[in-house]
Amino acid sequence: MEWWIWMLLGLLMFVTELVTPGGFYFMFFGIGAVIVGTLAGLNTAGPLWLQFILFSILSVISLGLFRGKLLQLTRGKPTVDVDSMVGETAFASDDIGVNGFGKVELRGTSWNAHNIGGKPLKRGERSRVERVEGLTLMVCSEGN
């Protein structure tokens, strides 16, 4: 196969990676195609059957070696440590009765809340975060 066909295939794989929400698969097959295209351009890739074997091996090796690291780099670490919210002040978005559930606002975000205090919370009232269980904040009135 001509070297430019491999290069075109590699470019097509890179474009496919950009337009699909895959998770870094096509890119590594594009890398394999570009490497085989370079080898074919230098007349060192051998016959067609060997080019396909090289393409397959290089693509799978690059996928195995670099995909996990690339995903780690792009995903990053969570930006919110929910355990650090304990002791902070939240504002009730709803009226929340004693041992009731509702919504509170904290750090510009609406959270599910469970009133564990002995006093009901009125809308707009300040409350203190006592603990976090999953995505629910256990709150009580600041007066408690």
**Ordered mean pLDDT values, 10 residues apiece, the chain (144 residues):** 93 93 88 96 94 96 92 71 78 90 90 91 91 89 73
User: Token pair for residue 40?
Assistant: 């074919």
pTM of this prediction exceeds 0.85: no
Domain map of the chain by residue range?
3-75, 82-141
Predicted pLDDT of residue 81: 60
* Fold of the 82-141 domain: OB fold (Dihydrolipoamide Acetyltransferase, E2P) (2.40.50)
Per DSSP bridges, beta strands 101-106 and 136-141 are unpaired
**What CA–CA distance (Å, rounded) separates 129 from 81?**
14
